[in-house]
Amino acid sequence: MSVLTITEPKSSPGTWRISAELRQQLLEALAAPARPKMTYEEFLNWADEDTLAEWVNGEVVMTSPASDQHQDISDFLVALLRPFVEQRRLGVVRSAPFQMKLPDSGREPDLSFVAAQRIDRLRNTYLDGPADLAIEVLSPESLSRDRGAKFYEYAQGGVLEYWLIDPLRKWAEFYRLGQLGLYEPIFSGREGIFHSEVVLGFWLRVEWLWQEPLPNSLRVLGEIAGIAPQIVEQFIQALGGG
């Protein structure tokens, strides 16, 4: 294996010399053409449902497959939010992979909610504008992106509420968009009750997210909706559940 070295000649202190191999690599890097950019429309035509990628400032950003725990929590939240939103005709819930197009990026929140009065933003393969709520379930690969670039982009793009769910630390953070266009914390912790400000009437007992296995979504949904437990149990039994 070749070793690339940078040395300071003893005869001329302060004058640095690089190896020929490193010099060649640097010259090749400088001569390499810039990576071509694509429009958002070109990105949508290039990507398909199995492509793990997002679009940022004209460039493609590849992402990693979700872990089992990540997907379990995402599916649990979908199982709670989607029927709650649909039955109350509050809007629509979408789960990844579904693009949210902001001014300079096309991101794929793990979950998003669009209020009924803004459903006209929905296109066949993406949401043309900010969701009212975006949810990201953190992973080691996405941690810096979800807390950094997306945190800024979602706020600047007008996403009204942003949830960050961290299963590794068993910690959840909930933010709302303030008057200055910056996120303000609403609630954070590993337990306690959070009430959404954009999904009207929806609340979440945070410790549900860390249970192994996750609680029965029908029982949880019944508690959120204020349905008598015996009615929920009768419904579960009718479905053949335990």
What does the pLDDT look like over 124-166, one tens digit per residue?
999 999 999 999 999 888 888 899 999 999 999 999 999 999 9
Residue-level pLDDT at 42:
84
Tokens encoding 66? 């979700």
Does pLDDT of 9 surpass 60? no
95 neighbors 116 (Cβ within 8 angstroms): no
Closest by CA position to 59, among listed 78, 75, 40? 40
> Domain 66-211 falls in which CATH fold?
tt1808, chain A (3.90.1570)
Does pLDDT of 49 surpass 80? no
* H/E stretch holding 166: strand 161-166
Distance in angstroms (rounded) separating the CA atoms of residues 20 and 35: 26
Per-residue pLDDT tens over the stretch 168-221: 999 999 999 999 999 999 999 999 999 999 999 999 999 999 999 999 999 999
79 neighbors 224 (Cβ within 8 angstroms): no
Tokens encoding 1? 């294996």
